[in-house]
């Protein structure tokens, strides 16, 4: 792809969606030995295509640089595990999957989802480029192919393993720079009457809930249902159903089939959501220009809260070191002058520092030790889970702070 052209339709990119300045890669946590080294920063400047309305970041860093060793392990998020378990039950029931079926997951991470199909005796295969993460899945008995997915990988998998009855990918469609190669690969790997499901954050939620912190270099595209329907149709795949799910602050789960497969008629939820996005202006360029001012206002409100709290002598620490947190911290200029430290359940991140802002990442045990006045929850999409896990801060009058869609304090 030419860096200044749309990754789907190839049209020149002229129009800014939002510019969040410069930021380091969000999962590149800094070791103590690296603290005095230079860090590469890249533009977080998103564009909207005036031809197809795909919102996108340019590709400054290859997926190989981001995903070959990866710090995100899905199994540390209880909400993701529950979503995965419920999903497996739903798919087996709806599409009558059995020991004769094959379920293939693209970007299978640490096996957090495929394990539920495996328990039901259904053959599975993971496709995951990050060797360190996939080893956890392999240890669970899940076969994994360590490759990036695209058309050539799909051709090879068909030769080696056969086609998929259910082909799925959660939070991966937005992560691929060559979206045409990716979707065409899915068509190759899908059985003639097979089903594709994909989950991804919904652009409508991102805009309505000020979720600008979900913009980071791993997310190359920001997807409406309308644009995904166009992309899939271009590659001979038809979306026949869609569900709106609460995961990641508001996501879509799409269901696709070969366009020639008429055994699965297009349902009402598809036409209804397309109509709703059209009514909301997702087919008009002007709609996308309103987002920048919302983002600036969210930043101002968060900094105003933090400055006031520090002036009153309050202590503030973070919870989590997620990708979205690093966008928020870097865009707002929040460092140890505001947050003493942050904590994360993932031992892989503990003992390191947040990219760019160099806030220490510690074990959650540190919270009891220092008894902060405020806990700023950076992965706000799982705030209920975290507030339940760390409810003990109320013992000393500690309060929770949620930054998105706007600053809110919970006692």
Q: What is the pLDDT of residues 338-362, one digit of tens each?
A: 999 999 998 989 999 999 999 999 9
Q: Are residues 223 and 90 in the same domain?
A: yes
351, 265: one domain: no
Same domain, 248 and 341: no
**Residue 385 DSSP class:** H
Residues 72 and 185 placed together within one structural domain of the fold: yes
Mean pLDDT of 94-113: 95
Ranking 22-31, 68-77, 187-196, 382-391 by mean pLDDT, the lowest is: 68-77
248, 133: one domain: yes
- Domain membership of residue 34 (yes or no) is no
Which of helix, strand or coil describes residue 289?
A: helix
122 lies in a domain?
A: yes
Triad 267, 268, 273: Cα angle to 5°: 115
CA-to-CA distance for 200 and 82, rounded, in angstroms? Answer: 17
Q: Would residue 211 count as lying in a domain?
A: yes
Query: What pLDDT, on a 0 to 100 scale, did the predictor assign at position 249?
Result: 84
Domain end: 250, 283, 316, which one? 283
pLDDT tens-digit profile of 152-172? 999 999 999 999 999 999 999
Range of the domain at 205: 65-283
Please report whether residue 193 resides in a domain: yes
340, 397: one domain: yes
Asked whether residue 179 is domain-assigned, the answer is yes
Closest by CA to 355, choosing from 149, 75, 61, is 61
Q: Note whether residue 25 is domain-resident.
A: no
Apex 373 CA angle, 369 and 374, nearest 5: 105
CA dihedral over 383, 302, 34, 65, signed as positive or negative = positive
Q: Does some domain include residue 128? A: yes
**DSSP bridge pairs for 223:** 202
Any domain includes 296? no
Q: How many residues does the chain have?
A: 411
| CA torsion through residues 156, 161, 166, 168, sign | negative
Q: Are residues 264 and 129 part of one domain?
A: yes
> 3-state secondary structure string, 202-271?
EHHHHHHCCCHHHCCCCCCEEECHHHHHHHHHHCCEEEEEEEEECHHHCEEEEEEEECCCCCCCCCHHHH
Q: What is the pLDDT of residues 265-314, one digit of tens each?
A: 999 999 999 999 999 999 999 999 999 999 999 999 999 999 999 999 99
* Phi, then psi, of 99 in degrees rounded to 5: -65, -15
pLDDT for position 158: 98
Are 198 and 308 within one domain? no
Question: 379-388 pLDDT, tens per residue?
Answer: 998 899 999 9
Percentage of the chain lying above the pLDDT 90 cut: 85
User: Same domain for 331 and 240?
Assistant: no
Total domain count, the chain: 2
Query: Is the pLDDT at 72 greater than 70, yes or no?
Result: no
What is the CATH classification number for the domain harbouring 230? 3.40.50.150
CA–CA dist 256, 239 (Å, integer) = 4
CATH number (domain holding residue 349)? 3.40.50.720
């Amino acid at each position: 792809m030419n860096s200044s052209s749309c990754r789907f339709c190839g049209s020149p990119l002229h129009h800014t969606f939002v510019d969040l300045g410069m930021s380091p890669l969000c999962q590149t946590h800094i070791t103590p030995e690296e603290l005095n080294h230079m860090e590469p920063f890249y533009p977080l400047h998103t564009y909207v295509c005036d031809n197809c309305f795909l919102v996108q970041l340019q590709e400054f860093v290859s997926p190989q640089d981001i995903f070959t060793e990866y710090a995100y392990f899905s199994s540390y998020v209880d909400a993701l595990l529950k979503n995965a378990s419920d999903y497996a039950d739903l798919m087996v029931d709806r599409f009558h999957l059995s020991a004769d079926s094959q379920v293939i997951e693209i970007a299978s991470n640490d096996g957090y989802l495929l394990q539920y199909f495996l328990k039901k005796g259904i053959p599975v295969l993971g496709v995951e480029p990050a060797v360190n993460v996939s080893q956890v899945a392999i240890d669970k008995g899940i076969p994994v192919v360590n490759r990036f997915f695209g058309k050539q990988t799909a051709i090879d998998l068909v030769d080696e393993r056969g086609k998929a009855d259910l082909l799925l990918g959660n939070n991966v469609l937005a992560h691929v720079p060559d979206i045409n190669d990716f979707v065409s690969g899915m068509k190759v790997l899908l059985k003639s009457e097979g089903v594709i499901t994909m989950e991804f954050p919904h652009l409508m939620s991102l805009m309505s809930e000020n979720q600008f912190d979900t913009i980071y270099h791993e997310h190359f595209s920001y997807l409406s249902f309308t644009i995904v329907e166009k992309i899939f149709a271009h590659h001979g795949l038809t979306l026949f159903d869609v569900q709106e799910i609460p995961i990641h602050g508001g996501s879509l789960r799409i269901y696709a089939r070969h366009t020639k497969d008429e055994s699965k008629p297009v349902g009402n939820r598809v036409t209804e959501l397309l109509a709703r996005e059209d009514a909301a202006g997702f087919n008009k360029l002007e709609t996308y220009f309103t987002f920048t001012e919302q983002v600036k206002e969210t930043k101002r409100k968060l900094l105003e809260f933090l400055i006031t709290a520090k002036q009153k002598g309050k202590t503030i620490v973070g919870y989590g070191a997620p990708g979205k947190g690093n966008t928020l911290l870097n865009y707002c200029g929040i460092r140890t002058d505001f947050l003493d430290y942050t904590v994360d359940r993932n031992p892989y991140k503990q003992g390191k520092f947040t990219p760019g802002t160099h806030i220490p990442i510690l074990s959650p045990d540190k919270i009891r030790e220092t008894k902060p006045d405020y806990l700023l929850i950076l992965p706000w999409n799982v705030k209920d889970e975290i507030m339940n896990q760390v409810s003990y801060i109320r013992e000393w009058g500690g309060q929770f702070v949620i930054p998105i869609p706007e600053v809110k304090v919970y006692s």
